[in-house]
Amino acid sequence: MDFKCAVIKGDGIGPDIVDQAIKLLDIVGEKYGHSFSYEEVLAGGVAIDATGHPLPQETIDVCKKSDAVILGAVGGPQWDHLPGNLRPEVALLGLRSALGLYANLRPAVMYKELQAACPIKDEIIGQGLDIMVVRELTGGIYFGERGQGTGENGAYSYDTMMYSEKEVERIARNAFDIAMKRGKKLTSVDKANVLENSRLWRKVVLEVAKDYPEVELNHLYVDNAAMQLVINPKQFDTIVTGNMFGDILSDEASMITGSIGMLPSASLGEGKIGMYEPIHGSAPDIAGQDKANPIATVLSMAMMLRYSFDLEEEAKAIEKAVENVLAAGYRTGDIMSPGGKLVGTKEMGRLLCEQI
C-alpha cells in the first residue's frame, strides 16, 4: 500500500527526531510491502523566519491532501517576543482547526525498564502504568472568544470556555470506543461543581454512556483528578476531558512515567487523517547535538500506522522494537540510569531500525 505523509520537522530538535522516525518508517515499509512518500512543509518558528507567519497556507493545503501529518516540535526562545497571534504555537492550533482534529490521544505508558525514573514510590505504581488520556482538541477555552479592554479597575482580559452538545458527544463517543478496546473503564474529568460548561459536559457524557453499558464510567473534578494521578494512578485506564484540563492532566500523566521524551500522541478527526507528534517540546538547548530522544516520535509513527493506516501488525512491530532496545539497556541521556548504555539520537534510531 502507498501512503502520503506531510512532514513538518519544525524547530529545535524537531529535525533530529523526525529524521530517525522516517528512517524507521522506510524500514517498516520495506519489510511489510508498503510505500511511504513524504512532502516537507514549514510550520512554527522556521515558518516565521521564512514567510513571516507560523502556518503558511501552503502547509495547510499540503496537509489536507495527505494521508497523515508527521510533526516534530515547534517553538523556541528566539520567537518569544512576538505577539500571541504570531507565536510558533499558533501553528498547532491552526493545523488542528484546519484538519478538524478534535480528539487528542495521549498514552502514558511506563516501561518496566524505566520504572526507576518514576517519581512515585514503587508500592504505589506497582508493576507499571498504562493510561490513555483522550483530550478534546478544537473547543473549550483555547478556541473561545477572547479579548482585552480597560475598565474602572484598569486593564482586563478574558477567555471564554464554551462547548456545544455535539462537541462533547463526539469526543465522548471516541473515548468510550477506546475504553471498549482497553479495560472498559472510563473516567470523565470536569469541574461541574463550579462551571456551567462542565455541567453540560457531564450531562452529555452520561447520555452517551447509555450506549456503552459494558464500560464502567466514573466522574472526577479536575482538581481531584490531578491529585489522584499522583496518589493512585493505577485506578485509571481511559480518561476523557476538555481541552484545557486535558492539556494539564496529560502532561502530569506523562511525567509520572518518568520521561516526557518517551510519550507519543495522535490528533484525530472524523476521517482517517491524523497528526502525529511527540508530546515534548523543541528543546533548543540540545538541537543538532545528537542528544535528543527519538522514541516518542517513533512511537507516534506506531500510532499513525494503527489509527490512520489500519496497520496493526506494523504498529506492534515498532512498539516491540522500542521494548527490545530498552531491554537491551540502551538509553539516551534523558532516560539514562546507572548501568545503562548511553547512545545518541542517530544510534538510537539505528538500533530501533535494526530491531524491525
Q: Judge whether 310 counts as a catalytic residue.
A: no
Q: What is the CATH number of the domain that holds 190?
A: 3.40.718.10
pLDDT band at 123; cut points 50, 70, 90: low
300 pLDDT more than 70: yes
Question: Both 138 and 231 in a single domain?
Answer: yes
Q: Among 223, 285, 290, 310, which one carries the catalytic annotation?
A: 223
At 340 the three-state DSSP class reads coil
Name the least confident of 175-189, 245-259, 263-277: 245-259
For residues 192-204, b (16+ Cβ closer than 10 Å) or e, as one string? Answer: beeeebbebbbeb
Torsion, Cα 286 305 178 319, to 10 degrees, reads: -60
Q: Among 185, 251, 291, 346, which one carries the catalytic annotation?
A: 251
Listed residue (234, 183, 178, 182) closest to 208, CA to CA: 178
Question: Both 204 and 245 in a single domain?
Answer: yes
Q: Judge whether 19 counts as a catalytic residue.
A: no
- How many angstroms separate the Cα of 298 from the Cα of each of 26, 165, 176? 12, 35, 26
The cell numbers describing 253, all together, are 500523566
Sign of CA dihedral 143, 257, 307, 295: positive
What CA–CA distance (Å, rounded) separates 28 from 35?
Answer: 9
74 pLDDT more than 70: yes
Q: Judge whether 211 counts as a catalytic residue.
A: no
Highest mean pLDDT, choosing among 80-84, 126-130, 143-147, 293-297: 293-297
> Where do we find the cell 511511504?
36
Question: Both 298 and 244 in a single domain?
Answer: no
The pLDDT of 192-213, averaged and rounded, is: 97
Question: Both 215 and 249 in a single domain?
Answer: yes
Counting the structural domains of the chain, the total is: 2
Question: Both 39 and 56 in a single domain?
Answer: yes
The pLDDT of 54-61, averaged and rounded, is: 97
Looking at residue 271, the DSSP 8-state letter turns out to be: S
Listed residue (15, 3, 20, 74) closest to 298, CA to CA: 20
Q: Among 9, 11, 190, 191, which one carries the catalytic annotation?
A: 191
Q: Among 67, 247, 276, 307, which one carries the catalytic annotation?
A: 247
The cell numbers describing 4, all together, are 502520503
Question: Both 177 and 273 in a single domain?
Answer: no
Question: Both 190 and 267 in a single domain?
Answer: no
Q: What share of the chain is helix, strand, coil (3-state, %, to 5)?
A: 50, 20, 30
Please answer whether residues 102 and 39 qualify as being in contact, where contact means their C-beta atoms are separated by less than 8 angstroms. Answer: no
The pLDDT of 70-90, averaged and rounded, is: 93
Last residue of a domain, one of 203, 227, 256: 256
Average pLDDT, the chain: 93
Question: Both 105 and 131 in a single domain?
Answer: no
| Residues spanned by the domain of 157 | 119-256
- Please give the residue that has the higher pLDDT: either 128 or 307: 307
189 beta partners: 220, 241
Q: Judge whether 285 counts as a catalytic residue.
A: no
User: Which residues touch 80 (CB under 8 Å, ≥6 apart)?
Assistant: 87
The cell numbers describing 300, all together, are 507516534
Please answer whether residues 275 and 69 qualify as being in contact, where contact means their C-beta atoms are separated by less than 8 angstroms. Answer: yes
pLDDT band at 220; cut points 50, 70, 90: very high
Last residue of a domain, one of 199, 221, 256: 256
Question: Both 127 and 224 in a single domain?
Answer: yes
- How many angstroms separate the Cα of 114 from the Cα of each of 48, 153, 230, 278, 295? 38, 52, 18, 18, 13
Question: Both 152 and 176 in a single domain?
Answer: yes
266 pLDDT more than 70: yes
Q: Judge whether 191 counts as a catalytic residue.
A: yes
- pLDDT the model gives residue 215: 98
- pLDDT the model gives residue 152: 93
> Where do we find the cell 500506522?
305
- pLDDT the model gives residue 135: 96
Question: Both 101 and 195 in a single domain?
Answer: no
- Please give the residue that has the higher pLDDT: either 116 or 9: 9
Q: Among 102, 142, 163, 276, which one carries the catalytic annotation?
A: 142
At 155 the three-state DSSP class reads strand
Question: Both 82 and 134 in a single domain?
Answer: no
Last residue of a domain, one of 239, 256, 273: 256
User: What whole-number percentage of the chain has pLDDT above 70?
Assistant: 96
- pLDDT the model gives residue 25: 97
